[in-house]
Structure 1
Amino acid sequence: MFEYTIIDKSLENKIILITGAGAGIGKEAAITYAKLGATVILLGKTVSKLEAVYDEIIALGLAEPAIIPLDLKGATKQNYIDMSATIASQFGRLDGALLNASILGELTPFTQIHEQIFNDVMKVNVNAQYLLAQALIPTLQLAPNASLIFTSSGVGNQGRAYWGAYSISKFATEGMMQVIADEYENSTLRTNAINPGATNTGMRTSAYPAEDKDKLATATDIMPLYVYLMSDDSIAVNGKTIKAQ
């Protein structure tokens, strides 16, 4: 695992947006960030899941989260612009954004990738990330130091047979991250990507249904990197894709 000692209150008073916050890694990151003192903004498409995470954070006596129900497959550019403006209005800034939400599509030979599935994967994993980042950057720049984190994959820098649409989308994600990181290199915004590795999540199960889940890392196991990149300890880190495992 990525070696980093998580320090209590290391994210105190930070305002952090997490996409895909209703389950898996996004949910774990939201709860972890809240425990470390952050006010988290939970974005996801399923309201009931977001409400469950909200309730869990409140039950722990932590700062009250905000909820933004939004389906990345159907959201428009204006939705993201309005969302960012609302965050700036209500909180005054955004200290961090973890762009965690993505979809797998299907594992299939390249010549059999269905056009609609390919388009859906690109819309959620690439187009939505581009529009989100574009809308959020002005609000991130209102913070003294801000961290924008994309989510990549082991197939995001080395193509793998049958992972077509998802792999291509993660190559695009890493490229997008590098472009933003380079453009804002001399600013208060740093941009990086995380490769979570094989983790026991719903997406992993759909890709490898017969896999022994007990041999996989849990979302909790990989949190040190997620905390590190969101904390001020990583202020000098920019334009990197880092493995959580």
Structure 2
Amino acid sequence: MTKRLDGKIALVTGASRGIGYQLAKQMAAEGAHVIALARTVGGLEELDDEIRAASGSATLVPLDMTDMGGIDRLGGAIKERWGRLDVMVANAGLLGVLAPIGHIEAKIFEQTMTVNVTATWRLIRSLDPLLRASEAGRGLVMSSGAAHSAKAYWSLYAATKAACEAMVRSWANETMNTPLRVNAVNPGATRTKMRAQAMPGEDPKTLPTAREVAAKIVPLAFADVTETGKIFDVRRETFLTYQNPA
């Protein structure tokens, strides 16, 4: 059976747990060599064991997304070893804090913006030339319904995801005439540690697992995807088009 990512190089951030872990594992199962980034070495090693047990391959990169220099050097290291990158998944992120906007501490605000927004931009800047070097580069940036619902007390997280979606849209417009396709992804409510942190009273058994959600995201990395500059809604399993102002 042909593997849809056979021979591809795919990078996933936040790969030590949750959706990122499952995306890395499933992309490796589809034949990709996965570059797995995360702060937690133990989680990366566990991922590597599972990938190798399934006859896949991975390169582990312990990296804190606040290490901007490390993100900058990442592009050069990938270029030197492989000369290109076929898939980039910007999945790492923080919830920050759920609180009235006027009560958010400056330190928490800045840390969440750094990881969710600045690091995502820095990652795109570092890897864009490598994705353009691919015959079918694919960029995926994880977002959230919070970017649009902007519920009370969610201002910080919502703002970071709205910013990421804006970057994706502009990036897509800049690369429209290239083979590179870039989209945002709204995974919806998922049985993850972050979700439990945000909704401590929720029964996790009512939510889809990270494995189930990842299985619907992996096909966005395939070469036959033509959509760009859109948001993929996992629950609806469809691309949503942004409404441009007149």
TM range (shorter): over 0.9
Pair 1:191 & 2:182 matched: yes
Contact 2:26 2:215 in 1 (8 A): no
1:83 aligned to which of 74, 84, 90: 74
Aligned to 1:28: 22
Shift of 1:8: 5.3
Q: Report matched runs for 1:216-231 at 5 Å.
A: 216-231=207-222
Contact 1:113 1:164 in 2 (8 A): no
Contact 1:47 1:69 in 2 (8 A): yes
Shift of 1:112: 0.6
> What do residues 129-168 of structure 1 show as CA deviations (whole Å, max 9, x unaligned)?
0000011001111111100100100111231110111111
**RMSD (CA atoms):** 1.1
2:32 aligned to which of 10, 34, 38: 38
Pair 1:105 & 2:105 matched: no
The alpha-carbon distance between structure 1 residues 31 and 8, as it changes in their structure 2 partners (threshold 3 A), is farther
Larger RCO (CA under 8 A, 6+ residues apart): 1
1:31 aligned partner, one-letter code: K
Aligned to 1:3: none
SS at match of 2:37: strand
Q: Report matched runs for 1:1-245 at 5 Å.
A: 9-62=3-56, 64-73=57-66, 75-76=67-68, 78-234=69-225, 236-245=226-235
Contact 2:138 2:180 in 1 (8 A): yes
Identity %: 38
Shift of 1:20: 0.2
Contact 2:5 2:30 in 1 (8 A): yes
Contact 1:85 1:139 in 2 (8 A): no
- Show structure 1 runs of 5+ residues with no match: 1-6
Aligned to 2:239: none
1:23 aligned partner, one-letter code: R
> What do residues 100-125 of structure 1 show as CA deviations (whole Å, max 9, x unaligned)?
00000111111111111010110000
